[in-house]
Structure 1
Amino acid sequence: MPGSPSLAALFPLRVVVGVGELAVANNPQVTLSTYALGSCVAVVIYDPIIRSGGLLHLMLPDSAIAPAKAARQPAMFANTGLPALFDALMGIKVDRFRSRIFLAGGASVLDGPDTFRIGERNSEAVQTMLARRGARVSGHDLGGVTNRTIHLELSTGLLAIKHPAQTFHVSLGL
């Protein structure tokens, strides 16, 4: 029927990115989400001109500890997940020079001392790799002791960052 809204307009799509996964989308009806970021780090990349982007939920800084696992699931590690994310974004024509990058997670959520400092090491690895690529981070919500959940609306570039006690929003759009 002419003039009727599409199903996508009636039911926006949510893509949930699990631990050690990544997703990219070029459909403005999509919201990319990931839950329970503790020591893991989420890398959000958004191109405001074409309203497309991607989300990586990485678990560990370096794949050297498990090369076979990295071959099967590259998004689990910073050093293999970031290149995979950039490659996937190139496939949907995201321009890395106009894209906005936001980082979240990297917390120390253990009750006692965190001798492995996974959250801190994840954050450092991601920031180092992005700097080597010449990618500028627009903003971040890293560290602390609480987990986070994030949602990126591709139609607007609005990023919601939810902590247990508060939610705040960051605009990655124009």
Structure 2
Amino acid sequence: MGQQDNLAGRELERLAQVIMPGGWAVERERPIATLLGSCVAVALYDPALKLGGLNHFMLPCFNRSAGRSEVDALLAGDFAMEALLNAMLARGAKKARLVAKAFGGGMVVSSLDRSQIGQRNVEFTREWLAREGIALQASDFLGQWSRKVVLDPRTGDVFCKRAASTLAISQRIESREQAYAETIAAPKPKGNIELF
């Protein structure tokens, strides 16, 4: 990446809407950014509309069980990918024109490495895109580092900055991912109203 690209990436990051695990956004103008550890982010882009979207998921699939909120489902790739695709289509995108770029699956969180969650997220991502017929134009997967990802929805460019897995970065990512893992595992109190 040249100096000009670095400057463009930093300016986009400054202006970006940041999404957290379980989040997604579709934009025409405003950049979208996220920070990844073992999670995966997929950017979808419709070049004819100049419309882009980005999601961030923590697990490949949502496992339904008693007391689990449907909101937790967006933490899983199967729901997060459908939510992003449907949001793109609702804004006028055509599935046949969509292209994808995907990032993440790093092994930076020691407590999650044993389950190979990063590898499972990457495999899910490749399989889902292939099944839906959406070309994966670029990817940066796996490794021992975290990633800052910024999508420019005006062009479909995605800037990916790798960060060495320092203790501080790992702890920050682990804290975020662990907080979401706990919300998934915790039973929901009875009597709550869930919106759908």
Smaller-chain TM-score range? 0.7 to 0.9
Name the CA shift for 1:19/1:85 in 2 (closer, same or farther; >3 Å). Answer: same
Give the superposition deviation at 1:135: 1.8
1:52-131 aligned within 5 A? 52-64=51-63, 69=68, 71-111=70-110, 114-131=113-130
1:6-45 aligned within 5 A? 14-25=16-27, 27=28, 29-35=29-35, 37-45=36-44
Aligned residue pairs, count: 151
Query: SS at the partner of 2:154?
Result: coil
Q: TM-score, normalised by structure 1?
A: 0.78
Q: TM-score, normalised by structure 2?
A: 0.70
Give the superposition deviation at 1:112: 8.0
Q: Residue deviations 1:84-133, cap 9 Å, x none?
A: 11111101111222222001000111358922000000111121122221
Query: Taking every aligned residue pair, what percent have the same amino acid on both sides?
Result: 32
CA RMSD of aligned residues (A): 2.2
Equivalent in the alignment of 1:8: none
Greater fraction of residues in helix: 2
Q: Which 10-residue stretch deviates more, 44-53 or 141-150?
A: 44-53
Query: SS at the partner of 1:63?
Result: coil
Q: Residue deviations 1:7-62, cap 9 Å, x none?
A: xxxxx95221111111112x3x2101112x01000010011221101101000111
* Alpha-carbon distance in 1 for matches of 2:100, 2:48: 14
CA contact (8 A) 1:17 1:57 kept: yes
Name the CA shift for 1:57/1:138 in 2 (closer, same or farther; >3 Å). Answer: same
Greater fraction of residues in strand: 1
* Alpha-carbon distance in 2 for matches of 1:125, 1:136: 15
* Alpha-carbon distance in 2 for matches of 1:67, 1:129: 26
- Runs of at least 4 residues of structure 1 off by over 4 A? 65-70
CA contact (8 A) 2:56 2:75 kept: yes
Equivalent in the alignment of 1:160: 159
* Alpha-carbon distance in 2 for matches of 1:162, 1:138: 18
Equivalent in the alignment of 2:134: 135
CA contact (8 A) 1:41 1:123 kept: yes
Query: SS at the partner of 2:118?
Result: helix
Query: SS at the partner of 2:102?
Result: strand
CA contact (8 A) 2:100 2:135 kept: yes
Equivalent in the alignment of 1:48: 47
Query: SS at the partner of 2:48?
Result: coil
* Alpha-carbon distance in 1 for matches of 2:137, 2:158: 12
**Which residue identity does 1:78 align to in structure 2?**
G
